[in-house]
C-alpha cells in the first residue's frame, strides 16, 4: 500500500488523537492535520458529566494530553472550524470558515451527535451534555433552575 502524502483527521477528540498517535508510533513522518469543530484541544468526555460538572475539576484537567505531548506529535491542530463537506475524489474537506484542506488520506473521527427528544428545545431545565462547553454552561446555571427527576 502506498504511503499518503499527508493525513487529515476530522474530529479532534479521543479517536482523532489515537489516530495521529498511532500513525507517529508506526513511523509515519508525513504531514498530519487535525480539524476540530470545537475550539478546544482534545479532552476526555467521561469527566464532563462527573468531575467537571460537579466542579471537582477545572476544565483543563480533562485534557487528554499536555501541550508538550501534542507538540511532540508535530501535527497541526485546526480548531473551532467544523468540516462542512468532503470531496472524496479530490480528498478535500471544506470547512465552515471557508477553508479547503487537502490530504492524501482523510480519516473521519467525528463521533456522534446526540438525538434530542421531540420538543426538547422548549423544555426548561433539560440539557444535552456532549461537549466541554455544554458541561460548563450547565455548571454555571444557578442551582434550582433544573428540575429534579421525579
Instruction: Report the interface residues with ligand FAD, using CB under 6 A.
Output: 10-16, 35-38, 45-46, 48-49, 82-83, 109-111, 129-130
Shortest spacing between CB 2 and ligand FAD, in angstroms = 26
Q: Between 106 and 129, whose beta carbon lies closer to ligand FAD? A: 129
DSSP 34-73: EE-SSSSPPB-SGGGGTHHHHTSS-GGGGBSS-HHHHHHT
Q: Between 6 and 110, whose beta carbon lies closer to ligand FAD? A: 110
Residue nearest to ligand FAD (CB): 111
Q: Which helix (H) or strand (E) holds 33?
A: strand 31-35
Q: Between 6 and 82, whose beta carbon lies closer to ligand FAD? A: 82
CB atoms within 10 A of CB 87: 12
Q: Would you give the DSSP letter of residue 141?
A: S
Amino acid at each position: 500500500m502506498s504511503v499518503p502524502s499527508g493525513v487529515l483527521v476530522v474530529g479532534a477528540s479521543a479517536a482523532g488523537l489515537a489516530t495521529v498517535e498511532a500513525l507517529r508510533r508506526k513511523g509515519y513522518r508525513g504531514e498530519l492535520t487535525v480539524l476540530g469543530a470545537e475550539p478546544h484541544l482534545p479532552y476526555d468526555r467521561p469527566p464532563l458529566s462527573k468531575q467537571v460538572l460537579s466542579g471537582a475539576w477545572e476544565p483543563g484537567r480533562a485534557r487528554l494530553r499536555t501541550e508538550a505531548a501534542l507538540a511532540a506529535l508535530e501535527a497541526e491542530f485546526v480548531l473551532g472550524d467544523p468540516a462542512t463537506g468532503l470531496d472524496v475524489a479530490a480528498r478535500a474537506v471544506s470547512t465552515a470558515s471557508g477553508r479547503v484542506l487537502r490530504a492524501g488520506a482523510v480519516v473521519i473521527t467525528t463521533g456522534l451527535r446526540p438525538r434530542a427528544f421531540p420538543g426538547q428545545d422548549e423544555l426548561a431545565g433539560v440539557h444535552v451534555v456532549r461537549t466541554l462547553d455544554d458541561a460548563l454552561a450547565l455548571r454555571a446555571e444557578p442551582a434550582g433552575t433544573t428540575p429534579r427527576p421525579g
